[in-house]
Amino acid sequence: MSVSEPWVMAVDADTVAAEGRDRIALSVQGRIAGHRVILLSTCHRVELYGFGIMPDLETHLQVETGEQAVRHLMRVAAGLESAIIGEDEVLHQVRDAFAQARALRSLDRRLQRLFETAIAAGRRARAGRTATSGNLAQRAIAWLQQRSRLEGGTVLIAGAGRMGSALAHAARLAGADVTIASRDPIRANRLAQVYGGRGVDLVGGADLAPKSAGIAIALAGVWHEFQPPQCDLPPIADISAPSAVLPAVRARLNGSFLGIDDLYVRTQSVPRGYVAEADRVVAMKTSEYVRWMDGCM
């Protein structure tokens, strides 16, 4: 492969389950020191981008090079490779991956330009959008609504980060009160105040779980404190990757558990106009970047 060619090494929820993706992400993180690369690790995918010689990494990672690698990142940023086509979270994740890589290491200017172009493509694809199919948090809460009456009840949200906030927002729109549980109770209280709820630590959240109308989880790491007694549990939507709920608890739910990979089903209700416009933007931005690359050689 030419040293002037970009490449991507990737896995997603179509090919590797959440636990496997988490193992791969940890492995890749531990082996890229000194490499001028960008790692994009989300709830649905683990992708490593670079130029020239690829590091010796996981055999599970699928490789694309050249223009195909460029187009792939444009599609990811535009939300065309997401579980929910056109969702916004992935664009934040692409932007965050780029910012974190720049803070940690010196990047090849071609790689910088690639991510800058992809971020621009993601913004352009979403410009003027009049409808979306919702985000992961909205779908998780909608799933809970199908199994429990949330309006007038309390939804326990485990996690006070960006996705926890999205879950809380969706729960309030569904008419539920919210309780936020987090490893950092101060952060939980801060987020809970936004939605008129209460904040607790993860121990307190585990105690409140059986009394809730539904539980929605977005945690980094296992929720070890959540080991409820042998009593009925409300439905649980866990969009953590991998799952934060212990296997023994999941086994008790008898179909009332939704995991992140269960959401990795492309919706059929995506507005055709968005897909067509996003495809056009991806083609335009891919050509723009390839022309820029040709001018650099």
In this structure, what are the phi and psi dihedrals at residue 38, rounded to the nearest 5 degrees? -125, 125
Tokens of 188: 């939980």
**Residue 1 belongs to some domain of the structure:** no
> How many angstroms separate the CA atoms of 270 and 256, rounded?
26
Residue 268 resides in a domain: no
Tokens, residue 110: 């071609």
Domain of 244, CATH number, reads: 3.40.50.720
Residues 242 and 288 reside in one and the same domain: no
Task: Determine the structural domain holding residue 106 and report its residue range.
Answer: 6-131+273-296
pLDDT of residue 53: 84
pLDDT of residue 292: 93
Q: How many CB atoms lie within 10 A of CB 154?
A: 20
Residue 271 φ then ψ, to 5° = -60, 125
Q: Mind listing the pLDDT tens digit of every residue in the chain (297 residues)?
A: 455 799 999 999 888 888 888 889 988 988 888 889 999 998 889 999 999 888 887 667 899 999 999 999 999 999 999 877 888 889 999 999 999 999 888 889 999 999 999 999 999 998 866 544 457 888 899 999 999 999 999 999 999 998 899 999 999 999 999 999 999 999 999 999 999 999 999 999 999 999 999 999 999 889 999 998 778 899 999 999 889 999 989 988 888 999 988 876 544 455 667 888 899 999 999 999 999 998 876
Which candidate in 10, 43, 73, 191 is catalytic? 43
Q: Which domain CATH number covers 66?
A: 3.30.460.30
Residues 126 and 155 in one domain: no
Q: What pLDDT is stored for residue 268 in this prediction?
A: 46
Same domain, 44 and 73: yes
In a domain, 115, yes or no: yes
Beta carbons within 8 Å of 99's beta carbon, 6+ residues apart: none
Same domain, yes or no, for 126 and 140? no
Asked whether residue 184 falls in the same domain as residue 105, the answer is no
The pLDDT assigned to 253 comes to: 87
Which residues lie below 8 Å from residue 225, measured CB to CB, with a gap of 6+?
202, 203, 205, 206
- What whole-number distance in Å separates Cα of residue 76 and Cα of residue 101? 18
Within a domain: residue 26? yes
Annotated active-site residue 43? The verdict is yes
Q: Are residues 256 and 164 in the same domain?
A: yes
Domain for residue 142, yes or no?
yes
Do 51 and 125 lie in one domain? The reply is: yes
Helix (H, G, I), strand (E, B) or coil at 63: strand
Same domain, 182 and 217: yes
Domain contains 184: yes
Asked if residue 54 belongs to a domain, the reply is yes
Single-letter residue type at 221 = G
Shared-domain flag, residues 71 and 189: no
Same domain, 120 and 28: yes
Is residue 248 assigned to a domain? yes
Q: How many domains does the chain have?
A: 2
Q: How far, in Å, CA of 262 to CA of 274, rounded?
A: 24
Q: What is the pLDDT of residues 31-69, one digit of tens each?
A: 888 889 999 998 889 999 999 888 887 667 899 999 999
Question: Are residues 147 and 256 part of one domain?
Answer: yes
User: What is the pLDDT, as a whole number, of residue 100?
Assistant: 92
- Same-domain status, 27 and 80: yes
Residue spans of beta strands (DSSP E) within the chain: 6-12, 38-41, 45-51, 62-65, 154-158, 177-182, 198-201, 214-217, 236-238, 257-258
